[in-house]
Amino acid sequence: MSGHSKWSTIKRKKGATDAKRGKLFTKLGREIVLAAREGGDPAVNFKLRLAIDKAKAANMPKDNIERAIRRGTGAEKGAELEEVRYEGYGPHGVALLVHVLTDNRNRAVSDVRRAFNRYGGSLGESGCVAWLFESKGYITVSPNDSDPDELALLAIDAGADDVTVGSDLVEVFTLANDFQEVKESLEKNGIALNSAEISMLPKSLAELGEKETIKAMILIDALEELEDVQQVSSNLNITDEMMAKYDQWTST
Protein backbone atom coordinates (compact mmCIF):
# COMPACT_ATOMS: atom_id res chain seq x y z
CA MET A 1 0.00 0.00 0.00
CA SER A 2 1.28 3.46 -0.83
CA GLY A 3 0.36 6.48 1.22
CA HIS A 4 2.99 8.98 0.16
CA SER A 5 0.41 10.80 -1.97
CA LYS A 6 -1.52 11.32 1.25
CA TRP A 7 1.54 12.69 3.02
CA SER A 8 2.26 15.12 0.19
CA THR A 9 -1.16 16.69 0.62
CA ILE A 10 -0.90 16.74 4.42
CA LYS A 11 2.42 18.60 4.24
CA ARG A 12 0.87 21.12 1.88
CA LYS A 13 -1.98 21.80 4.30
CA LYS A 14 0.48 22.18 7.19
CA GLY A 15 2.12 24.96 5.20
CA ALA A 16 -1.14 26.78 4.52
CA THR A 17 -0.85 30.53 4.12
CA ASP A 18 -2.47 32.92 6.60
CA ALA A 19 -5.11 33.70 3.99
CA LYS A 20 -6.24 30.06 4.04
CA ARG A 21 -5.78 29.50 7.76
CA GLY A 22 -9.18 30.97 8.69
CA LYS A 23 -10.92 28.58 6.31
CA LEU A 24 -8.89 25.68 7.72
CA PHE A 25 -9.91 26.61 11.26
CA THR A 26 -13.56 26.63 10.20
CA LYS A 27 -13.24 23.10 8.80
CA LEU A 28 -11.38 21.85 11.88
CA GLY A 29 -13.99 23.47 14.11
CA ARG A 30 -16.78 21.64 12.30
CA GLU A 31 -14.92 18.36 12.77
CA ILE A 32 -14.72 19.05 16.52
CA VAL A 33 -18.43 19.93 16.63
CA LEU A 34 -19.33 16.64 14.98
CA ALA A 35 -17.07 14.61 17.28
CA ALA A 36 -18.32 16.39 20.41
CA ARG A 37 -21.85 15.18 19.72
CA GLU A 38 -20.66 11.85 21.15
CA GLY A 39 -19.48 13.52 24.35
CA GLY A 40 -17.46 16.57 25.27
CA ASP A 41 -14.72 14.85 27.28
CA PRO A 42 -11.72 14.02 25.06
CA ALA A 43 -10.43 11.64 27.74
CA VAL A 44 -13.22 9.21 26.90
CA ASN A 45 -14.17 10.37 23.38
CA PHE A 46 -11.27 9.33 21.14
CA LYS A 47 -12.84 10.85 18.03
CA LEU A 48 -12.98 14.21 19.80
CA ARG A 49 -9.40 13.86 21.08
CA LEU A 50 -8.22 13.16 17.55
CA ALA A 51 -10.07 16.20 16.18
CA ILE A 52 -8.58 18.40 18.91
CA ASP A 53 -5.08 17.07 18.19
CA LYS A 54 -5.48 18.00 14.52
CA ALA A 55 -6.69 21.47 15.47
CA LYS A 56 -3.77 22.01 17.82
CA ALA A 57 -1.31 20.80 15.17
CA ALA A 58 -2.68 23.54 12.92
CA ASN A 59 -2.24 26.11 15.74
CA MET A 60 -5.97 26.67 16.05
CA PRO A 61 -6.64 29.02 19.02
CA LYS A 62 -7.75 27.41 22.25
CA ASP A 63 -10.90 29.57 22.40
CA ASN A 64 -11.98 28.32 18.97
CA ILE A 65 -11.52 24.70 20.06
CA GLU A 66 -13.48 25.17 23.29
CA ARG A 67 -16.30 26.99 21.49
CA ALA A 68 -16.58 24.17 18.95
CA ILE A 69 -16.81 21.61 21.77
CA ARG A 70 -19.59 23.61 23.43
CA ARG A 71 -21.50 23.75 20.16
CA GLY A 72 -21.14 20.03 19.67
CA THR A 73 -22.44 19.21 23.12
CA GLY A 74 -25.32 21.69 22.80
CA ALA A 75 -23.98 24.03 25.49
CA GLU A 76 -23.77 26.80 22.89
CA LYS A 77 -26.03 27.41 19.92
CA GLY A 78 -24.76 26.85 16.41
CA ALA A 79 -25.88 25.69 12.99
CA GLU A 80 -26.94 22.05 12.78
CA LEU A 81 -24.37 20.18 10.71
CA GLU A 82 -25.05 17.20 8.46
CA GLU A 83 -22.39 14.74 7.30
CA VAL A 84 -22.61 13.82 3.59
CA ARG A 85 -20.30 12.03 1.14
CA TYR A 86 -20.34 12.59 -2.61
CA GLU A 87 -18.59 10.42 -5.20
CA GLY A 88 -17.43 11.06 -8.71
CA TYR A 89 -14.70 11.02 -11.31
CA GLY A 90 -12.13 13.66 -12.08
CA PRO A 91 -10.27 14.17 -15.36
CA HIS A 92 -8.80 10.98 -16.86
CA GLY A 93 -10.92 8.75 -14.62
CA VAL A 94 -9.45 9.75 -11.23
CA ALA A 95 -11.76 8.50 -8.46
CA LEU A 96 -12.87 11.10 -5.91
CA LEU A 97 -14.66 10.89 -2.56
CA VAL A 98 -15.81 14.28 -1.28
CA HIS A 99 -16.44 14.45 2.47
CA VAL A 100 -18.85 17.23 3.45
CA LEU A 101 -20.07 18.78 6.71
CA THR A 102 -22.80 21.28 5.96
CA ASP A 103 -25.73 23.18 7.40
CA ASN A 104 -27.26 23.39 3.92
CA ARG A 105 -27.25 20.20 1.85
CA ASN A 106 -28.70 21.92 -1.25
CA ARG A 107 -25.90 24.49 -1.26
CA ALA A 108 -23.27 21.81 -0.72
CA VAL A 109 -24.35 19.51 -3.57
CA SER A 110 -24.79 22.48 -5.91
CA ASP A 111 -21.25 23.73 -5.19
CA VAL A 112 -19.74 20.25 -5.51
CA ARG A 113 -21.52 19.55 -8.80
CA ARG A 114 -20.47 22.94 -10.20
CA ALA A 115 -16.80 22.24 -9.40
CA PHE A 116 -16.95 18.79 -11.02
CA ASN A 117 -18.54 20.21 -14.17
CA ARG A 118 -16.23 23.20 -14.41
CA TYR A 119 -12.98 21.27 -14.10
CA GLY A 120 -13.59 18.27 -16.29
CA GLY A 121 -15.10 15.82 -13.82
CA SER A 122 -18.49 14.25 -13.27
CA LEU A 123 -20.47 13.79 -10.06
CA GLY A 124 -21.60 10.17 -9.83
CA GLU A 125 -24.09 8.04 -7.95
CA SER A 126 -23.52 6.81 -4.41
CA GLY A 127 -21.21 3.79 -4.49
CA CYS A 128 -19.68 4.47 -7.91
CA VAL A 129 -16.12 4.82 -6.55
CA ALA A 130 -16.35 4.01 -2.83
CA TRP A 131 -15.36 0.41 -3.53
CA LEU A 132 -11.93 1.66 -4.63
CA PHE A 133 -11.21 2.95 -1.11
CA GLU A 134 -11.05 1.56 2.41
CA SER A 135 -11.19 3.18 5.83
CA LYS A 136 -7.70 3.04 7.32
CA GLY A 137 -5.72 4.62 10.10
CA TYR A 138 -2.81 6.62 8.71
CA ILE A 139 0.12 7.78 10.86
CA THR A 140 3.35 9.42 9.74
CA VAL A 141 6.60 9.73 11.67
CA SER A 142 9.85 11.50 10.76
CA PRO A 143 12.73 9.29 11.94
CA ASN A 144 15.10 12.21 12.63
CA ASP A 145 17.86 10.57 14.70
CA SER A 146 15.93 7.33 15.18
CA ASP A 147 16.36 4.16 13.14
CA PRO A 148 13.42 3.99 10.67
CA ASP A 149 13.41 0.20 10.82
CA GLU A 150 13.15 0.29 14.62
CA LEU A 151 10.18 2.66 14.35
CA ALA A 152 8.57 0.28 11.88
CA LEU A 153 9.04 -2.67 14.26
CA LEU A 154 7.47 -0.69 17.11
CA ALA A 155 4.48 0.08 14.92
CA ILE A 156 4.10 -3.55 13.87
CA ASP A 157 4.35 -4.71 17.49
CA ALA A 158 1.65 -2.17 18.36
CA GLY A 159 -0.68 -3.76 15.80
CA ALA A 160 -0.03 -1.87 12.56
CA ASP A 161 -1.50 -3.47 9.43
CA ASP A 162 1.29 -2.25 7.16
CA VAL A 163 4.34 0.02 7.34
CA THR A 164 6.23 1.84 4.58
CA VAL A 165 9.78 2.86 5.51
CA GLY A 166 11.72 5.69 3.88
CA SER A 167 14.83 7.57 4.92
CA ASP A 168 12.80 10.68 5.79
CA LEU A 169 9.38 9.23 6.58
CA VAL A 170 7.78 6.18 8.14
CA GLU A 171 4.15 5.65 7.13
CA VAL A 172 2.02 3.47 9.38
CA PHE A 173 -1.27 1.98 8.22
CA THR A 174 -3.79 0.40 10.59
CA LEU A 175 -7.22 -1.13 10.45
CA ALA A 176 -9.72 1.52 11.53
CA ASN A 177 -10.55 -0.38 14.73
CA ASP A 178 -6.86 -0.64 15.68
CA PHE A 179 -5.96 2.99 15.03
CA GLN A 180 -6.42 4.26 18.58
CA GLU A 181 -4.34 1.47 20.12
CA VAL A 182 -1.48 1.86 17.63
CA LYS A 183 -1.42 5.66 17.94
CA GLU A 184 -1.38 5.59 21.73
CA SER A 185 1.27 2.86 21.80
CA LEU A 186 3.62 4.91 19.61
CA GLU A 187 3.06 8.01 21.73
CA LYS A 188 3.75 6.06 24.94
CA ASN A 189 7.09 5.07 23.41
CA GLY A 190 7.94 8.76 23.08
CA ILE A 191 7.51 8.89 19.31
CA ALA A 192 6.44 12.28 17.97
CA LEU A 193 3.82 11.88 15.23
CA ASN A 194 3.70 14.14 12.19
CA SER A 195 0.09 13.27 11.50
CA ALA A 196 -2.51 10.76 12.64
CA GLU A 197 -5.98 10.32 11.19
CA ILE A 198 -8.55 7.85 9.99
CA SER A 199 -9.13 8.38 6.30
CA MET A 200 -10.47 6.74 3.17
CA LEU A 201 -7.32 5.53 1.42
CA PRO A 202 -7.22 4.13 -2.12
CA LYS A 203 -6.57 0.42 -2.56
CA SER A 204 -4.37 1.28 -5.56
CA LEU A 205 -3.13 4.48 -7.17
CA ALA A 206 -3.82 5.95 -10.61
CA GLU A 207 -0.62 6.88 -12.43
CA LEU A 208 -0.99 9.82 -14.84
CA GLY A 209 1.40 11.99 -16.81
CA GLU A 210 2.37 15.43 -15.55
CA LYS A 211 -0.21 17.43 -17.52
CA GLU A 212 -2.99 14.97 -16.71
CA THR A 213 -2.05 14.95 -13.01
CA ILE A 214 -2.11 18.75 -12.84
CA LYS A 215 -5.53 18.83 -14.48
CA ALA A 216 -6.90 16.40 -11.89
CA MET A 217 -5.26 18.32 -9.04
CA ILE A 218 -6.98 21.53 -10.17
CA LEU A 219 -10.35 19.87 -9.57
CA ILE A 220 -9.23 18.45 -6.20
CA ASP A 221 -8.05 21.91 -5.14
CA ALA A 222 -11.32 23.50 -6.26
CA LEU A 223 -13.33 20.98 -4.24
CA GLU A 224 -11.18 21.44 -1.13
CA GLU A 225 -11.69 25.20 -1.34
CA LEU A 226 -15.47 24.84 -1.02
CA GLU A 227 -16.97 26.03 2.25
CA ASP A 228 -18.69 22.75 3.10
CA VAL A 229 -15.98 20.30 2.00
CA GLN A 230 -13.93 18.80 4.81
CA GLN A 231 -11.71 16.48 2.82
CA VAL A 232 -11.25 15.06 -0.66
CA SER A 233 -9.92 11.52 -1.04
CA SER A 234 -8.56 10.44 -4.41
CA ASN A 235 -6.66 7.56 -5.95
CA LEU A 236 -4.34 9.93 -7.82
CA ASN A 237 -0.63 9.35 -7.27
CA ILE A 238 0.80 12.70 -6.12
CA THR A 239 4.51 12.67 -5.35
CA ASP A 240 6.35 15.42 -3.47
CA GLU A 241 7.95 16.38 -6.77
CA MET A 242 4.57 16.57 -8.50
CA MET A 243 3.14 18.67 -5.66
CA ALA A 244 6.08 21.08 -5.97
CA LYS A 245 5.51 21.41 -9.72
CA TYR A 246 1.81 21.99 -9.16
CA ASP A 247 2.45 24.70 -6.56
CA GLN A 248 4.91 26.35 -8.95
CA TRP A 249 2.37 26.15 -11.78
CA THR A 250 -0.42 27.70 -9.69
CA SER A 251 1.80 30.53 -8.46
CA THR A 252 2.70 31.72 -11.97
Q: What is the pLDDT of residues 28-44, one digit of tens each?
A: 999 999 999 999 999 99
How far is 104 from 85, CA to CA, in rounded Å?
14
As annotated, the residues of the chain forming the CATH 3.30.70.980 domain(s) are 82-131+205-240, 133-202
Query: Could you give the dihedral angle defined by the CA atoms of residues 100, 104, 105 and 106, in that order, rounded to the nearest 10 degrees?
Result: -130
CATH of 82-131+205-240, one of 1.10.10.10, 3.30.750.24, 3.30.70.980, 1.10.260.40: 3.30.70.980
Contact 73, 36 (CB under 8 A): yes
Q: Residues 65-74: what's their mean pLDDT?
A: 94
CA angle centred on 62, ends 71 and 27, rounded to 5°: 55
CA distance 245 to 48: 36
Grouping H, G, I as helix, E, B as strand and the rest as coil, residue 95 is strand
- Give the span between the Cα atoms of 63 and 71, in whole angstroms: 12
> What does pTM read for this prediction?
0.86
pLDDT of residue 24: 86
Strand partners, 63: none
User: What's the pLDDT at 1?
Assistant: 44
- pLDDT at residue 4 above 70? no
Model confidence at 60, pLDDT cuts 50, 70, 90, reads very high
Distance CA 95, CA 139 (A): 23
185-240: per-residue pLDDT in tens?
999 998 888 889 999 999 999 999 999 999 999 999 999 999 999 999 999 998 88
Measured CA to CA, the distance from residue 132 to residue 93 in angstroms comes to: 12
CATH homologous superfamily of domain 4-73? Integrase, N-terminal zinc-binding domain (1.10.10.200)
pLDDT interval class at 252 (50, 70, 90): low
Tell me the per-residue pLDDT of 107-134, one tens digit each, with 9 for 90 and over: 999 999 999 999 999 999 999 999 999 9
More confident residue, 42 or 9: 42
